[in-house]
């Protein structure tokens, strides 16, 4: 049983895991075994599983011949940890798998992993204009008309000078584009190019595009030396001098100036160990945690070598400049050591080329949360990048030419005709950003609440309405938006402050009457005696 290529798309690592589990469960030979004077049916030895799985991985188009036996053992350890297999006594999880005669079997439960719940997006999809539509002439007019930026009547107004209908025109130079605008154009066209290479409907399936930093892309293109290596303006982000010297020493072995001095036996191994310790101590891999899923998806196009190189060229532009520079220097050292026949063996267990891959693969690519296939996936990608590093870490010529042509188009002199639309020039790149349904509903709620709150304050501040009218409006508002009203007037006293009670007329009369001393009525005595 053999699997087909799993191409780019969401949850590729989980798909690969489930695919290799299905192949192992369906194809691994099981039979009766006897151990410690006892027989067990439908089981297999650990070393038999390693042999069978190693051959499966090497022959599988999704993994390749770079997988070694040690990595196969690590994968089967994860099979035991995730209850894909169990020992003959039913133990799994805490037990450790070793390449020996121990017996294992398949559990009755399904070993496949469920796919994570996909983020649901609103109907708003990102739109990246195709720079091939930005050429002058017919393509530009077709692009404008298709996007409702230029109707047929306006087109005739613009071009009727040829038949003498509109004799008046004037030249207009577009304003200079700011650096931030240029950076955003680089970002949008870079993501558009990558999306087309991978053949995806949206990059959000494999990468949150809001994490793409426009300034990083622009810096990685502009700030390079004659060898194409990024030049850092902030020297604190540079490799330590001792690490850089050690890398130059091994990359130029034995002709580097650093090794002309007398060296001792095993010197090159100590230098290599120093470099490895530095990169292993980094808190984040060079390809970053955020871009992990994106680079894993590049593995889906590795059989198409040129397509994979173009995709990796774009992805490496998304890296922070300090990461890109370190990656360029590390890849150059790894490739030179692997191809240098004069370099002594740096390990007793592996030849230099594979040693480079196995030593630095997880320093270059790994996930923030441990993923079951991390080591195998990283090995395959790093092997490909090391073999093609000169092409991969170059600035993609096609993309650069397309962006420069578009920028020149936006800044060229424009001809405006009398009576034509005031602004029919092609706008700079803009696109709608996808959001999840929960975020859309939250924004909708926040906007509605803000509008209602503004209405309430407007009613309160209204000086033209009488007290009676204002109270009527507030009562209607309270009925419609009780929660918002309660936030504004949490107690009756807070509401009473807005309408202080006026003393009634009768009460005023009573008040003034009470100010005089009370004298009860007395009947006058009769004057008659």
| Separation of alpha carbons 346 and 343, rounded Å | 8
- SS3 category, 86: strand
| CA 379/CA 377 separation, integer angstroms | 5
pLDDT, tens digit, 9 for 90 and up, residues 331-353: 999 999 999 999 999 999 889 99
Q: Look at the domain 230-305+312-394 and name its fold.
A: Phosphatidylinositol 3-kinase; Chain A (1.10.555)
- What backbone phi and psi angles, to 5 degrees, belong to 524? -80, 135
Question: Can you say whether residue 125 is alpha, beta or left, with left for phi > 0 and alpha for psi between -120 and 50 degrees?
Answer: beta
DSSP 8-state symbol, 236: G
Residue 246 CB: number of other CB atoms within 10 A? Answer: 21
In sequence order, what DSSP letters do the residues of 16-51 get, joined into one string? HHHHHHHHHHHHS--EEEEETTEEEEEEEEHHHHHH
Assign domain 12-105 one CATH number from 1.20.1370.20, 3.40.50.620, 3.40.50.10420, 1.10.10.10.
Answer: 1.10.10.10
Residues 6 or more apart whose CB falls under 8 angstroms from that of 361 comprise 375, 378, 379, 381, 382
Please answer whether residues 258 and 248 qualify as being in contact, where contact means their C-beta atoms are separated by less than 8 angstroms: yes
Tokens of 481: 């938006």
pLDDT 10s digit of each residue in the chain, 529 long? Answer: 456 788 888 888 888 899 999 999 999 999 999 888 888 999 999 999 999 999 999 998 888 888 889 999 999 999 998 889 999 888 888 778 999 999 999 998 766 777 666 554 443 444 444 433 434 444 444 444 444 444 555 545 555 444 445 446 666 666 678 899 999 999 999 999 999 999 888 888 888 888 899 999 999 999 999 999 999 999 899 999 999 999 999 999 988 655 555 578 889 999 999 999 999 999 999 999 999 999 999 998 988 899 999 999 999 999 999 999 999 999 999 999 999 999 999 999 889 999 999 999 999 999 987 767 888 999 999 999 999 999 999 999 999 999 999 988 888 766 666 555 544 444 444 445 555 666 666 666 666 777 788 888 888 888 778 888 888 888 888 888 888 888 888 887 777 777 766 555 455 545 445 455 545 545 555 545 4
DSSP string, 95-132: S---SSS-EEE--SS--PPPPPPPPPB-S-------GG
Residue 151's SS3 state is: coil
Q: Which strands make up the sheet holding 103-105, listed edge to edge?
A: 31-35, 38-45, 103-105, 86-87
**Separation between Cα atoms, residue 82 and residue 84, nearest integer Å:** 6
* Distance separating alpha carbons of residues 487 and 504, to the nearest angstrom: 31
Long-range contacts of 475-478 (CB under 8 A, 24+ apart): none
The verdict on pTM exceeding 0.85 is no
- pLDDT at residue 282 in the model: 95
What residue ranges do the domains of the chain occupy?
12-105, 120-224+399-435, 230-305+312-394, 438-512
């Amino acid at each position: 049983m053999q699997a087909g290529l799993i191409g780019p798309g969401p949850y590729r690592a989980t798909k690969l895991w489930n695919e290799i589990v299905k192949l192992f469960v369906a194809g691994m030979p099981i039979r009766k075994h006897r151990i410690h004077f006892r027989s067990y049916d439908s089981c297999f030895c650990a070393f038999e599983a390693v042999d069978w799985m190693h051959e499966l991985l090497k022959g599988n188009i999704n993994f390749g011949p770079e997988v070694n036996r040690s990595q196969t053992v690590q994968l089967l350890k994860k099979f035991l940890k995730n209850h894909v297999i169990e020992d003959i006594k039913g133990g799994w999880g805490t037990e450790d798998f070793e390449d020996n005669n121990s017996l294992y079997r398949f559990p009755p439960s399904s070993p496949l992993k469920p796919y994570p719940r996909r983020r649901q997006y609103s109907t708003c999809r990102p739109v990246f204009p195709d720079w091939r539509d930005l050429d002058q002439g017919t393509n530009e007019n077709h692009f404008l008309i298709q996007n409702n930026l230029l109707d047929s009547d306006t087109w005739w107004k613009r071009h009727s000078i040829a038949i003498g209908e509109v004799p008046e025109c004037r030249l207009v130079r577009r304003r200079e584009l700011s650096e931030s605008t240029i950076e955003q154009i680089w970002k949008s066209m870079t993501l558009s190019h990558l999306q087309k290479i991978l053949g995806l409907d949206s990059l959000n399936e494999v990468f949150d595009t809001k994490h793409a930093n426009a300034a990083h892309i622009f810096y990685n293109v502009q700030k390079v030396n004659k060898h194409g290596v990024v030049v850092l303006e902030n020297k604190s982000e540079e490799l330590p001098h001792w690490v850089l010297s050690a890398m130059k020493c091994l990359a130029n072995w034995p002709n580097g100036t650093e090794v002309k001095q007398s060296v001792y036996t095993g010197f090159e191994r100590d230098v290599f160990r120093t470099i490895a310790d530095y990169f292993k101590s980094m808190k984040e891999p060079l390809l970053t945690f955020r871009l992990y899923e994106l680079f894993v998806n590049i593995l889906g196009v590795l059989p198409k070598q040129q397509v994979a190189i173009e995709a990796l060229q774009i992805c490496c532009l998304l890296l922070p400049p300090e990461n890109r520079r370190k990656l360029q220097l590390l890849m150059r050292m790894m490739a030179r050591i692997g191809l240098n026949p004069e370099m002594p063996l740096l390990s007793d267990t592996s030849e230099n080329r594979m040693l480079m891959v196995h030593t630095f693969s997880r320093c270059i690519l790994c996930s923030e949360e441990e993923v079951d296939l991390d080591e195998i996936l990283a090995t395959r990608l790093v092997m490909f990048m090391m073999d093609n590093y000169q092409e991969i870490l170059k600035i993609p010529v096609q993309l650069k030419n397309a962006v420069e042509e578009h920028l020149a188009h936006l800044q060229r002199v424009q001809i405006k005709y009398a009576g034509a639309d005031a602004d029919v020039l092609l706008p700079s790149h803009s696109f709608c950003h996808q959001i999840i349904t929960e975020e859309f509903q939250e924004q909708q709620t926040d906007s509605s609440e803000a509008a209602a709150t503004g209405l309430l304050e407007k009613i309160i501040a209204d000086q033209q309405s009488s007290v009676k009218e204002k109270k009527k409006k507030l009562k209607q508002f309270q009925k419609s938006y009780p929660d918002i009203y309660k936030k504004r007037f949490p107690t009756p006293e807070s509401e009473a402050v807005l309408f202080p009670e006026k003393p009634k007329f009768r009460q005023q009369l009573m008040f003034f009457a009470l100010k005089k001393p009370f004298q009860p009525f007395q009947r006058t005595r009769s004057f008659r005696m």
